[in-house]
Every structure is written in C-alpha cells, then in structure tokens.
C-alpha cells in the first residue's frame, strides 16, 4: 500500500477530501445527477453502474476488508462516502441498502461466502434481497415457517417470503429459515444464501401504493442449495439476524439522513420561492425548522451508532431508536414537501415533481418496513428502558 493509500485508511479527513474532489470534478458522474427513473428496476441497474465506477476509482472499497475486494478501513469510511454522494447531488446507490445490511453479517459469519460473492456486489455486478418476512410472520420472525432440511451435503428450502427488499431484481437472497422443530421458535432458525437462478425459485414483484415494484414475494419450491451456503451455525440464524439488524436500522438511517439533509436544502429554496411570489403560509417556517431538527437529531443518533459499530461494538436493541427517528424524519419531510409543491406535487410532470411524488409514496412505508414503529417502541420499552409489561404489577 503506497503512502497516499495508507493516509486514506488512517485519516478520515483525507479520505473525505479525496472523495469530494473526485465527485465534483469527474464529468462522467453527470449522468447520475438529477435523474428520475420510471421504474425501480431501471433505477437499481443504473445506480449499480455508479457503484462500479466508484469501485474502479477505489472509493467504495474503503471500509471493507481486503479479503472481499476492499482496501481496509472502517464503517466510518462508508458512511463518509454516502455523505459526500448526497452533498454532491448524486444518488446513494439503491443496492447499498442491502449491501450495508447483509454484507457485514456475511463477512463475520460466512467469510468463505463473503470472499466469493461480495467483490461482485461492490463492483455493482450483482445485489441481494433480504428474505425475512412471511405472510404470517412479519415482525414476529420467530414464527416463520419457511423450512430448510438437510439432504446429504445439501440443504433443501421450501416456503414463501413476502416484502422481500430488491426481490424483483436480486441476484441472490439471504433468507432466515426454520431448521428446527416448529415449536423451537428463534432457537431453531438458520440463515442461508440462495442463488436466484436455483431451480424452484420464483419471484413475483409487489407494487407499493405509488405503483413501483419496490418489493417482491419469493417462493422456494424444494430449492436445493450447497451445504456451505449456511451463514453462521445450524440453528444459529437468530444471532446472525440480530447482528445484521443493527446495521439495517442504523446505517440505513445514516444514508437516509444524508439524503434528507439535501432534501431540506431543496425545501428551503422552495420556501424562498413561495415567499417571493405569494408569501409563506402561517406555520410553514416553524414546520421547516421542526423537520430540520428531526433530521439533525437522526444524524446525531446515527453518528454515535456508526461510531460504535465501526469500533466493533454491539449496539443491540438501542438500534430501534434509530429506526423510530428515521420514520419521523421520512414522514415529516415528505409531508412538508407535498405541501410546498402544492398542485405540482399532485399532477406535475417535470423530473423534480415526479421524484418528490415517488419519494412521498415510499415514505408511507417508513413506519412499517424493517419492523413497525410499534414493535420498535416495544423493544425499547422491554429491553432498553426495562418498563413493566402491560398489565403487570
């Protein structure tokens, strides 16, 4: 490793300055600025090419171990990259949501699979879906029914997953399955990696209210997977799930805060334009301040969480705080955007109006996806605050 590369790994300010210079001076990046995609599939494919460009330049390899195609460094490198992308008017590639959720768990619990598959993910050549929820097991993952049974050296997976992130286009699925008896609850779960092209895998897109296929239901009909596609120990999937949920609820919050800060700046410009033409409605300035305060609160909380995860510490149930704050930011920000845009939000056809409308529809799921806000508050009450159970003495 040369001196400059060593400096990037040890000096976060040098890394941030290098990323910032690259993003602001490379004309090839203009094709990703101010783009509105008509479909989720189109968006994820286009933004995966951005991931590939960042990989070739080395910037998104920092924060990942060399064994999986990285250059070393810590999670804070990845967080810095997401900040700089948003600040430069570029998208945070959609596939990084699952990369940040599933990648760290793969590195820790299945390094052989991480070495085999994560480099292609970092290059933007593939992305994965997360198969946790089921028709009768959403927030109660311990009640899931999709099974994996051992058959010789292989595992055979049968069942159905619902609300699978990136399910329409994912190349692989990381699934929580039951390997123990039905009554074993969370003690009888395992985590497996299933290739989309395996015989017996069927994915059916699920459109959200805005019309986009953000999710999918995935069916596994006696899907045979290699024995080494287990992530962690047999019946040890709950520990893997709890580990990766720390990243899902915190790093995703960091990414969303980076995007939200850029969106707040857009709202300030929109409010100024409104003031110059027809005046600002009563209470709008206060609401804009409240939204900004919520975003800054999320960022402050996410900063602490990212620092702890980067240092190898376990966050545990406190990560639910990040998820609750994120839901407040998403709903409040896009509700205010809807009001500021007025008729343009409802019927506008230009790029920005369509983008705001699509983002508003997606924000409606913020209090549900990844564990509902009610479940998050219950986790905090039970496991962080130690409050008495409802109806208890």
Q: How many CB atoms lie within 10 A of CB 136?
A: 11
- Token pair of 26 as six digits: 């490379």
The CATH number fitting domain 245-384, selected from 2.102.10.10, 3.30.450.20, 1.20.140.10, 2.40.30.10: 1.20.140.10
Distance between CA 93 and CA 179 in Å, rounded? 34
How remote is the C-alpha of 301 from its chain's centroid? 17
Mean pLDDT of the chain: 91
CA–CA separation, 294 and 364 (whole Å): 17
CA 186 – CA 231 distance, rounded (Å): 15
User: 36 burial class (0-12, 13-18, 19+ CB within 10 angstroms)?
Assistant: middle
* Cα distance between residue 218 and residue 186, in whole Å: 21
Give the residue carrying structure tokens 């019946």: 235
The whole-angstrom separation of Cα 375 and Cα 275 is 41
Angle at 21 between CA 18 and CA 24, to 5 degrees: 145
Length of the chain counted residue by residue = 393
Digit-coded pLDDT (tens) for 104-138: 999 999 999 999 999 999 999 999 999 999 987 76
Query: Is 245-384 the same fold as 3-126?
Result: no
Which residues are known to be catalytic? 248
Rounded Cα–Cα distance for residues 161 and 201 (Å) = 11
Look up residue 95 and give its DSSP letter.
T
Please name every residue paired with 64 in a beta bridge, in sequence order, or none if there are none. Answer: 72
Question: What's 129-235's CATH class?
Answer: mainly beta
- Tokens encoding 202: 């069927």
- Reading the block at residue 341, the tokens are 């845009």
Whole-angstrom distance, CA of residue 325 vs CA of residue 373? 9
pLDDT by position in tens, the chain (length 393): 455 566 777 799 999 999 999 999 999 999 999 898 989 999 999 999 999 999 999 999 999 999 999 999 999 999 999 999 999 999 999 999 999 999 999 999 999 999 999 999 999 999 999 999 998 776 677 789 999 999 999 999 999 999 999 999 999 999 999 999 888 888 999 999 999 999 999 999 998 888 888 899 999 999 999 999 999 999 999 999 999 989 988 888 899 999 999 999 999 988 888 888 877 777 888 999 999 999 999 999 999 999 999 999 988 888 889 999 999 999 999 999 998 888 888 888 888 889 999 999 999 888 887 778 888 898 899 988 999 877 654
Q: How far is CA 298 from CA 94, 102, 257, 258, 391, in A?
A: 20, 22, 7, 10, 32
The sign of the torsion formed by the CA atoms of 231, 69, 75, 132 equals negative
Q: What CA–CA distance (Å, rounded) separates 368 from 34?
A: 28
Residue 44 contacts residue 95 (beta carbons within 8 Å): yes
Cβ 363 vs Cβ 333: under 8 Å? yes
CATH of 3-126, one of 3.60.15.10, 1.10.3720.10, 1.10.10.410, 1.10.540.10: 1.10.540.10
pLDDT, one tens digit per residue, over 361-377 is 999 888 887 778 888 89
**Angle separating helix axes 319-341 and 284-310, nearest 10 degrees:** 150
- The residues spanned by each domain of the chain are 3-126, 129-235, 245-384
Distance, in Å, from the CA atom of 15 to the CA atom of 7, rounded to the nearest integer, reads 8
Burial 12-25 (b: 16+ CB within 10 A, else e): beebbebbeebbee
């Amino acid at each position: 490793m040369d001196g400059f590369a060593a400096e990037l790994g040890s000096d976060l300010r040098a890394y941030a300055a290098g990323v910032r210079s690259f993003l602001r001076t490379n004309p090839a990046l203009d094709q990703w600025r101010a783009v509105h995609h008509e479909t989720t599939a189109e968006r994820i494919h286009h933004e995966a090419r951005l991931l590939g460009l960042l990989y070739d330049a080395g910037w998104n390899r920092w924060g990942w171990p060399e064994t999986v195609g990285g250059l070393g460094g810590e999670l804070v490198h990845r967080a810095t990259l997401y900040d700089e992308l948003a600040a430069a008017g570029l998208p945070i590639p959609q596939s990084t949501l699952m990369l940040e959720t599933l990648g760290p768990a793969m590195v820790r619990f299945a390094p052989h699979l991480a070495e085999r598959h994560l480099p292609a993910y970092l290059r933007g050549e593939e992305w994965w879906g997360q198969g946790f929820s089921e028709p009768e097991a959403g927030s109660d993952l311990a009640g899931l029914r999709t099974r994996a049974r051992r058959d010789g050296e292989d595992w055979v997976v049968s069942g159905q997953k619902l609300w699978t992130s990136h399910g329409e286009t994912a190349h692989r699925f990381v699934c929580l399955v039951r390997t123990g008896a039905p009554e074993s609850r969370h003690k009888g779960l395992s985590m497996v990696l299933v290739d989309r092209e395996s015989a017996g895998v069927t994915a059916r897109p699920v459109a959200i209210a805005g019309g986009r296929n953000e999710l999918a239901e995935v069916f596994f009909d006696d899907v045979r997977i290699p024995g080494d596609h287990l992530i962690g120990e047999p019946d040890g999937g709950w520990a893997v799930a709890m580990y990766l949920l720390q990243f899902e609820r915190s790093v995703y919050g960091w990414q969303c805060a980076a995007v939200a800060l850029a969106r707040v700046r857009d709202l300030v410009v929109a409010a100024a334009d409104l003031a110059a033409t027809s005046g600002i409605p009563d209470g709008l300035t206060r609401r804009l301040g409240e939204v900004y305060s919520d975003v800054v609160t999320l960022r402050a909380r996410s900063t602490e969480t990212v620092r702890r995860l980067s240092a190898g510490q376990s966050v545990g149930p406190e990560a639910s705080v990040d998820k609750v704050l994120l839901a407040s930011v998403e709903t409040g920000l896009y509700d205010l955007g809807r009001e500021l845009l007025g008729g343009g939000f409802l019927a506008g056809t230009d790029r920005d109006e369509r983008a705001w409308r699509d983002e508003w529809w997606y924000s409606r799921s913020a209090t549900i996806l990844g564990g509902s806000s009610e479940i998050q508050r219950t986790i905090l009450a039970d496991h962080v605050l130690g409050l008495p159970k409802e109806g208890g003495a």
